[in-house]
Amino acid sequence: MSKRLRSSEVCADCSAQDPCWASINRGILICDECCSVHRSLGRHISQVRHLKHTPWPPTLLQMAETLYNNGANSIWEHSLLDPASVMSGRRKANPQDKVHPNKAEFIKAKYQMLAFVHRLPCRDDDSVTAKDLSKQLHSSVRTGNLETCLRLLSLGAQANFFHPEKGNTPLHVAAKAGQILQAELLAVYGADPGTQDSNGKTPVDYARQGGHHDLAERLVEIQYELTDRLAFYLCGRKPDHKNGQHFIIPQMADRRLLDLSELAKAAKKKLQSLSNHLFEELAMDVYDEVDRRETDAVWLATQNHSTLVTEKTVVPFLPVNPEYSSTRNQGRQKLARFNAHEFATLVIDILSDAKRRQQGNSVTGSKENVELILKAISSRHNSENQDIDQPDYDSVASDEDTDLETNAAKANRQKSLDSDLSDGPVTAQEYMQVKNALMASEVKIQQLMKVNINLSDELRIMQKKASKLEKQNSMPESDYDNPTPSLELDEPGSSRKGRQRSVIWQGEGSIPENTDTDAAPSSTLPSTEDVIRKTEQITKNIQELLRAAQENKHDSYIPCSERIHVAVTEMAALFPKKPRSELVRTSLRLLTSSAYRLQSECKKTLPVEPCPTADIQLVTQQVIQCAYDIAKAAKQLVTITTKENNN
């Protein structure tokens, strides 16, 4: 199906001409720059695909185009259409605006905070409202009005809602009515094609009974989307569902390794011992990582590499999803550390175990942690490399730098569905794509240098005007910035246990437990001038660290992190041990935990053993992220203190 763009199409977020990306779950088209921000938010916020360079199921593409053409963007910009919004200074981004902070702040407000969607009147019982919306969705999917259903979903209607009177779900209704685009939309929002109605029938059964055979076949594909995507990532082929083949399990190029490695057997056994729930979570996380890696490949292939160092956001690992536990978020981000060999090992094991579980084989009732399995997979690779110099999976790579192999290259390979894999050597173009990906950390460095320069300017202005600021303009954030501090606790590298610890610690290695449990909550805050002075010191030290990162002076990381640690400790000491304000407690936790994580990441550059370039680059990304979190938390504390001291 042709995916050629029409000249009339514009980016939904900044109105730039000829957008080449789509956000499937938002029903919009977006440009390169805005897409870079969408990707940094995570797939739970925006699911992006390139219109020309990413494989599309035809009906899914048709659904996205239909939503765009029917004004789906007005759902996310409802209040901006009100003339009063223009008068208040709120506006959408322009093509000429900078990605950071202008476009990024607008996009986060629009999709993460849902700042501009239509708000329903407040009711005492929210569950009743959600139920009413879901019933409306249940009724609406029998029609072709996609935009109405997307609006209901945006307000909180549940795609898997089971109608108590009708005895089925919205996907059953859409399937019976032959509404294939509605089925696509519901599936994007999590509708399960395998759900049974009160009589034990699935949406696939409804579609077949209604004579909608194309829809029935598509629903089967959706049911196996996760395993299909994993198989395609490795071997460029998908199962033949029409003929009853639902899985492709790529085989090892060298089967000897199955017998040689005890770690391999142990890792697979631990994977098999996971409960179905934990296995599903791990499989979904690996699916998201496959999506990130494949989108990276498309991203690099479509960018102008001569101007690679731009403001566009790099996505070095899966963004934090606040709905997941801290432990799960940490495991998700560790997937980015897996080289091609390790990741392929995990993908194949998941495909094998998914097939085993679907066939009804028993699962032992163990409570193994997913974290242990990820560690075992990594250890398994390191052990095997001591004896075997060649990679196990030729389908993925011939060395560790080929994570970004493009789908186009894989799709051109012809092989039998279950044959051994042999893709051959890496091309020069693929090698250069990887090297360019490593260079991309420069992007984040440049961004943060600008952020910290701006932060210093803001602090100087606030210091002069602190005594004169009024409550309504005391926030230095933009109109679109509406931080939710409670979400900051799930930042990468933090843990639930760490969140319960004292906001002040001594020494370098750990954050001791807070033993002062009898301290009474205090509403007393330090003076704005003192907080600004300490924040300026933190900012100065962060700028020094970022310059070291920019100049590849990795041996400067540890001394820089120690100076930041001292400055953070001094700033935290200004505040009471038990602040009454939840905002203050949250910001202090983010400040101190980020400083602790920064030290931990910087210590990874110690020359204990040779560190590959890719690992140094990943450490640099983590260091930059920690520095950004520290600067953000310090800025929040300045804002809170200024506001409270002027009330």
Q: Is the pLDDT of residue 540 over 80?
A: yes
Q: Provide the 8-state DSSP code for 30.
A: E
Distances 375 to 16, 151, 369 between C-alpha atoms, Å:
44, 42, 10
Beta-carbon contacts of 531 under 8 Å, excluding residues fewer than 6 positions away, are 571, 574, 637, 638, 641
What stretch of H or E contains 533? helix 528-550
Total residues found in the chain within this entry? 647
Q: What are the backbone dihedrals phi and psi of residue 579, each rounded to the nearest 5 degrees, phi first? A: -65, 140
Q: Is 365 buried (19+), middle (13-18) or exposed (0-12) by CB count in 10 A?
A: exposed
Per DSSP, helices labelled H in 95-179 are 104-107, 126-140, 146-155, 170-177
Closest CA to 417 of 591, 274, 243: 243
Q: Which residue has the higher pLDDT, 511 or 15?
A: 15
Region of poorest pLDDT, from 503-512, 529-538, 569-578: 503-512
Q: How far apart are the first and last CA of the chain?
A: 61
Decide if pLDDT at 96 tops 50: yes
Closest CA to 620 of 241, 184, 323, 314: 314
Indicate whether 514 pLDDT > 60. Answer: no
CATH 1.25.40.20 maps onto the chain at 126-223
Cis peptide before 391 (omega within 30 of 0): no
Q: Which residues of 482-518 are buried (b: 16+ CB within 10 A; e: fewer)?
A: ebebeebbbbbbbbeebeebbbbbeeeeebeeeeeee
- pLDDT of 155 > 70? The answer is yes
% of residues, the chain, pLDDT over 70: 66
Per-residue pLDDT tens over the stretch 343-358: 888 999 999 999 999 8
Which residue do the tokens 């029935």 mark?
216
The SS3 of residue 591 is helix
* DSSP states along 452-517: HHHHHHHHHHHHHHTTT--GGG---S-TT----GGGGGG-TT--HHHHTS-S---SSS-------T
The predicted pLDDT at position 37 comes to 94
The two three-digit tokens of residue 248, written as one number: 């492709």
pLDDT: which is higher, 606 or 396: 606
pLDDT(240) > 80: yes
- pLDDT, position 251: 72
Superfamily of domain 126-223: Ankyrin repeat-containing domain (1.25.40.20)
The pLDDT of residue 411 is above 60: no
Which one is predicted more confidently, 210 or 601? 210
pLDDT of residue 467: 55
Residue-level pLDDT at 301: 80
21-112: CATH architecture: Orthogonal Bundle (1.10)
Give the model's pLDDT for residue 524. Answer: 83
Q: Is the pLDDT of residue 511 over 70?
A: no
Query: Residues of CATH 1.10.220.150 domain(s) within the chain?
Result: 21-112
Q: Where is pLDDT greater, at 261 or 232? A: 232
Average pLDDT over residues 487-494: 34
Residue 88, pLDDT > 70, answer no
Task: Compute the distance between CA of residue 33 and CA of residue 90 in angstroms, rounded to an integer.
Answer: 21
Question: How far apart, in whole angstroms, are the C-alpha atoms of residue 537 and residue 456?
Answer: 10
- Which position has the higher pLDDT, 132 or 473? 132
| pLDDT band with cut points at 50, 70 and 90 for residue 23 | very high
Q: Are strands 21-23 and 48-50 parallel, antiparallel or unpaired?
A: antiparallel
Compute the Cα dihedral for 474, 480, 482, 487 and give only its sign. Answer: negative
| pLDDT of 468 over the 80 cut | no
Tens of pLDDT, residue by residue over 293-318, are 999 888 878 876 544 444 565 688 99
Express each pLDDT in 249-278 by its tens digit. 987 554 444 444 566 677 788 888 999 999
How much is the average pLDDT of 594-622? 73
100-130: burial string, b at 16+ Cβ within 10 Å, e else: bbbbbbbbbbbbbebbbbeeeeeeeeeeebe
Which stretch of 366-375, 614-623, 627-636 has the lowest confidence by average pLDDT?
Answer: 366-375
The second-level CATH assignment, the architecture, of 440-645 is Up-down Bundle (1.20)
3-state secondary structure of 156: coil
The tokens describing 68, both together, are: 């765009």
Examine the pLDDT at 619 and tell me if it is beyond 90: no
The residues of the chain that CATH labels 1.20.120.330 are 440-645
Least confident span in 367-381, 437-451, 477-491, 587-601:
477-491
Model confidence band, residue 122 (pLDDT cutoffs 50, 70, 90): low
User: Mean pLDDT across the stretch 197-221?
Assistant: 97
Single out the residue of 601, 595, 596, 593 nearest to residue 617, CA to CA.
601
Average pLDDT over residues 488-503: 32
With beta carbons less than 8 A apart as the criterion, state whether 195 and 169 touch: yes
In DSSP notation, 100-120 reads IIIIHHHHIIIIIS-TTSPPP
Residue 476: partners with Cβ closer than 8 Å, 6 or more residues away = 458, 462, 635, 638, 639
pTM of the model: 0.60
The mean per-residue pLDDT over the stretch 121-142 comes to 81
- Judge whether 309 and 419 are in contact, CB under 8 Å: no
**How many alpha carbons fall within 13 Å on the CB side of residue 430?**
20
Q: What mean pLDDT, rounded, does the chain reach?
A: 75
pLDDT at 498 over 50: no
For residue 584, give both structure tokens.
């203050």
Please report the pLDDT score of residue 398 as a whole number: 27
pLDDT of 124 reads: 57
pLDDT at 7: 44
pLDDT of 233 above 70: yes
Put the strands of the sheet holding 21-23 in their side by side order: 28-30, 21-23, 48-50
Of 600, 326, 640, 317, which is closest to residue 485 (Cα–Cα)?
640
Confidence (pLDDT) at 85: 56
Q: Has residue 163 got a pLDDT over 90? A: yes
Q: Report whether pLDDT(164) > 90.
A: yes
